[in-house]
């Protein structure tokens, strides 16, 4: 059957269409993506303003049309941290439902971490052993660890690249004192969670998902996206450590010239790098592997699991 997953994230609204059935690998059929940056549209009260809601409704309607055009039989719509944490979330969800008919499921941070972990486990299989999974989104950082398909520990921290950039790194390039302040803040937040994971034992394999990690790996020398899903891509802590001060000294326009960095994500790449470096440092990760599957694939896999065998 043809499934569609509609991901209303902090940076983008992304429709992923796949051909899938239980027991088989979902095959991508179509991708429709619009940069909305909801995390940056919150007002002083933490609400998504009228213009932001109007844009969200329009983009959801556009995605619905794309899903219909591609023959989607079952649409799985969900929202993450930007909507979850908006002070007017209920009103936003009601407006989307009333004007589009789409009932957005709001995932908790822990659910995001668990579903991303499921996708990574299925991609690498049981032979990967104990997995530590890191995912930097626009609004939050998810960390999960475990031996099985359900992680033994999963947390979500308000350390998304878009959130940090908008709130704490407005300069272009940001002043060094702002960069140091974000570095301290990020490390203090992550350090509070390290004990919860370290007592479970050292991971056998550390994996990262998300566009932020893919872009960081690419500027550090990993293969291009055009080279395919099955090319191994790694990010070394030493490479990332060397890139952070370089990114801090660049403007957004200069970062956009780097290989694999999109113009829309260039401004928040520094914040993402600070989070990635802190996580790798505090969890004593020398290198990690990039997984092409993440939250959207996790949502699809969970849906297929619930369908059962045909």
At 258, is the secondary structure helix, strand, or coil? coil
> Per-residue pLDDT tens for 236-291?
999 999 999 999 999 999 999 999 999 989 999 999 999 999 999 999 999 999 99
Residue 300: alpha-carbon gap to chain centroid: 16
Distance from C-alpha of 169 to C-alpha of 271, rounded to nearest angstrom: 8
What SS3 state is found at 14? strand
Strand partners, 156: 142
Burial of 147 by CB count in 10 Å (0-12 exposed, 13-18 middle, 19+ buried)? middle
> Taking all residues of the chain, what is their mean pLDDT, rounded to a whole number?
95
Query: Which tokens hold the place of 52?
Result: 């932001």
Would you state the structure tokens that stand for residue 146, as one six-digit string? Answer: 């475990």
Nearest by Cα to 141 from 78, 190, 182: 190
Q: In what order do the strands lie in the sheet with 287-290?
A: 153-157, 141-146, 131-136, 205-209, 287-290, 234-236
Q: How far apart are CA 182 and CA 140, in angstroms?
A: 14
CA torsion sign for 171, 180, 138, 257 is positive
Tell me the C-alpha distance between 162 and 218, whole Å: 19
Closest CA to 85 of 157, 165, 168, 175: 157
Would you give the end-to-end CA distance of the chain in angstroms?
11
Q: Render pLDDT for 111-141 as a digit per residue (tens, 0 to 9).
A: 999 999 999 999 999 999 999 999 999 999 9
User: 197 near 153, Cβ under 8 Å?
Assistant: yes
Question: What pTM, to 2 d.p., does this model score?
Answer: 0.95
**Cα–Cα distance measured from residue 210 to residue 238, given in angstroms and rounded to the nearest whole number:** 20
User: What's the pLDDT score for residue 39?
Assistant: 76
**5-29 pLDDT tens trace:** 999 998 899 999 999 988 889 999 9
Which whole-number Å values give the CA distances from 49 to 140, 236, 274, in the listed order?
21, 40, 29
Give all domains of the chain, ordered by start, each with its CATH number.
Answer: 2-106 (3.30.420.40), 109-295 (3.30.420.150)
Cβ(83)–Cβ(307) below 8 Å: no
């Amino acid at each position: 059957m043809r499934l569609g997953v509609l991901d209303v994230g902090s940076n983008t609204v992304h429709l992923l269409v796949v051909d899938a059935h239980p027991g088989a690998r979902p095959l991508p059929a179509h991708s429709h993506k619009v940069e909305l940056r909801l995390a940056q549209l919150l007002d002083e009260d933490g609400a998504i303003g009228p213009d932001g809601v109007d844009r969200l409704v329009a983009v959801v309607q556009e995605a619905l049309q794309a899903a219909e055009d591609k023959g989607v039989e079952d649409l799985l719509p969900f929202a993450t941290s930007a909507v979850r944490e908006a002070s007017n979330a209920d009103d936003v969800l009601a407006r989307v439902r009333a004007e589009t008919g789409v009932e957005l499921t709001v995932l908790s941070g822990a659910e995001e971490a668990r579903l991303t972990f499921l996708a990574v486990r299925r991609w690498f299989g049981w032979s990967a052993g104990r997995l530590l999974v890191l995912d930097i989104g626009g609004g939050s950082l998810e960390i999960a660890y475990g031996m099985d398909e359900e992680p033994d520990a999963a947390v979500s921290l308000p350390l998304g690249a878009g959130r940090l950039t908008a709130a704490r790194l407005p300069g272009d390039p940001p002043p060094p004192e702002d960069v140091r302040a974000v570095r301290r803040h990020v490390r203090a937040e992550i350090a509070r969670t390290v004990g919860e994971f370290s007592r479970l034992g050292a991971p056998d394999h550390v994996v990262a998902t998300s566009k932020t990690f893919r872009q960081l790996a690419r500027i550090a020398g990993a293969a291009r996206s055009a080279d395919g899903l099955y090319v191994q891509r790694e990010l070394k802590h030493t490479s990332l450590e060397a890139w952070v001060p370089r990114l801090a000294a660049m403007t957004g326009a200069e970062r956009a010239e780097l290989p694999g960095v999109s113009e829309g994500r260039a401004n928040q790449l520094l914040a993402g790098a600070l989070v990635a470096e802190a996580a790798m440092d505090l969890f004593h990760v020398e290198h990690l592997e990039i997984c092409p599957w993440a939250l959207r694939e996790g949502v699809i896999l969970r849906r297929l699991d619930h369908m059962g065998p045909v």
